[in-house]
């Protein structure tokens, strides 16, 4: 899902972004929930926004419609925010909540 370029080539831009497959999901109105392990991450209670380097990712990723995310989490995402980090327990809980037969794009 996420890539980071670590090349030191003169024309390389180092940063984070989406692969084409996940960018398509974002373009289609999905937001990616990226699972993290809060016990192994570099997070503090004072910090409300985590950078990719702060989160120990579990490899769990699910995509849900942006409108559904905003209803479930009672928050509005920035227009350009295409993913959020959540505890892996949140992903497991959402998977259990989904009606039988619901297709939720996932990656592990």
Given the DSSP bridges, would you call strands 57-65 and 30-36 parallel, antiparallel or unpaired?
antiparallel
Check if the beta carbon of residue 108 is closer than 8 Å to that of residue 58. no
* Tens-place pLDDT, residues 54-103: 666 777 888 999 999 999 889 999 988 888 888 888 888 888 887 765 66
* Tens-place pLDDT, residues 6-55: 445 555 556 667 888 889 999 999 999 888 777 666 665 555 666 666 66
Check if the beta carbon of residue 31 is closer than 8 Å to that of residue 69. yes
pTM of the model: 0.69
> Which whole number is the average pLDDT over 104-108?
58
């Amino acid at each position: 899902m996420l890539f980071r370029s670590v090349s030191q080539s003169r024309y390389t831009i180092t940063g984070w972004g989406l692969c084409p497959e996940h960018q398509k999901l974002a373009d289609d109105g999905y937001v990616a929930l990226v699972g993290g392990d809060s016990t192994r991450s570099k997070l503090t209670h004072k910090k409300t926004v985590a950078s990719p380097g702060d989160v120990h990712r579990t490899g769990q990723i699910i995509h849900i419609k942006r409108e559904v995310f905003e209803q479930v989490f009672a928050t509005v995402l920035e227009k350009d925010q295409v993913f959020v980090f959540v505890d892996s327990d949140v992903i497991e809980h959402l998977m259990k909540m989904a009606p039988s037969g619901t297709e939720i794009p996932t990656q592990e």
